[in-house]
Amino acid sequence: MQELPIRKIIHVDMDAFYASVEQLDNPDLRGKAIAVGGGGERGVVSAASYEARKFGVRSAMAGALARKLCPELIFVKTNFERYREISNQIRKVFYEFTDLVEPLSLDEAYLDVTENKKGMPSATVIASWIRQRIKETTGLNASAGISINKFIAKVASDINKPNGQKTIPPEEVITFLEELDIRKFYGIGKKTAEKMYLHGIFTGLDLKSKSNEYLSKNFGKSGAYYYNIVRGIQHSDVKPNRIRKSLAAERTFKENITSEVFMLEKLDHIATEVARRLEKSKVAGKTITLKIKYSDFTLKTRSKTVELYIRSKEIIFETAKDLLYQEKLENSVRLLGISLSNLNTDDRKLKDAQKAIEEDKIDVQMRFEF
């Protein structure tokens, strides 16, 4: 077995986080099938309780379909301020054990506990303590995966959900990956899995039988990634200060819009929200992208990169407006979005970015205790 990094990584994932927060705050919802978001005619489910998941209700599912699958489904409006409040409480728990915390979202994070504030040798015990502290602090359940790198820890955190944990120690990594269904590999989605089936790849062992050249030829740049992860090779560190790549806002309309003229007011509101988020995050960017989703669900994007870093609502709106009129609409539109990327979160760009904002007035193999 190839020598692996001497690290102890925990992936903590809250169980049905948004839905669980709503059930926590409203006892009448406990034990019932609920969906957060998705209540409108064209809404989309943001999260579903485990009671709802039994009926096949999932996040990103159309609210209308969710209602068909579960006629008793209760829709609850999203309350992100409350979710962020709870998320901050959870992160404080993480920092009781280590400063090497990489949040992925409000409800999940990686922790490197190779060296930890408690001086504890067992990552499995630390994960158990963290889950217990989260329960004591918030009243919510969390699941965890523990292993030698981020990839395996994330895969492991799903195994004993909800309210459980799974440890994959160094000596069991290769066997675990070889026996793993290819659909369980983090980073391999439905379409990629279907393509792998055509190549006779159904398990980790099947994937491992393919050469790096074969995988690169048939799966492009991702081929090398697949070649490495099935061998337990991933050297990505837990990054406490993850760099934001982009910032966006979008809106789905109750009725399809057929003319650019009627979209301008919507774009103005979206640009305002993007600018608000930029200001709050204290970042700026150079590349504005307009996202258009048509009534047939076809998705198109149009982008423009400007010379200076911006976060001005007016500039964002005018640029998005120009992009809207850049090409004729192909169909009626159900969703518009604006994103700003090429941000000044790169340390090499930070100095120039701050200047631009001012000018614009805008802003192992080793066996050890797991």
Domains in the chain: ranges and CATH:
9-15+81-170 (3.30.70.270), 17-79 (3.40.1170.60), 173-229 (1.10.150.20), 246-360 (3.30.1490.100)
φ, ψ of residue 284 to 5 degrees: the values are -140, 165
| pLDDT for residue 40 | 73
CA distance 153 to 144: 8
pTM here? 0.72
| pLDDT for residue 362 | 32
| pLDDT for residue 360 | 39
pLDDT in tens, 250-264: 988 888 898 888 899
| pLDDT for residue 246 | 84
| pLDDT for residue 216 | 94
Q: Which residues are catalytic?
A: 108
Positive or negative: CA dihedral 261, 266, 269, 274 = negative
CA distance 64 to 78: 17
Low-confidence ranges of the chain (pLDDT < 50): 1-2, 4-5, 347-368
CA distance 89 to 77: 22
Residues 6+ apart with CB under 8 A from 273: 249
What order of strands is seen across the sheet that includes strand 101-105? 101-105, 108-112, 9-14, 142-147, 165-167
DSSP code of 184? G
CA distance 177 to 245: 30
pLDDT in tens, 262-291: 899 999 999 999 999 898 888 899 999 999
| pLDDT for residue 358 | 42
CA distances from 153 to 1, 185, 287 (A): 19, 11, 34
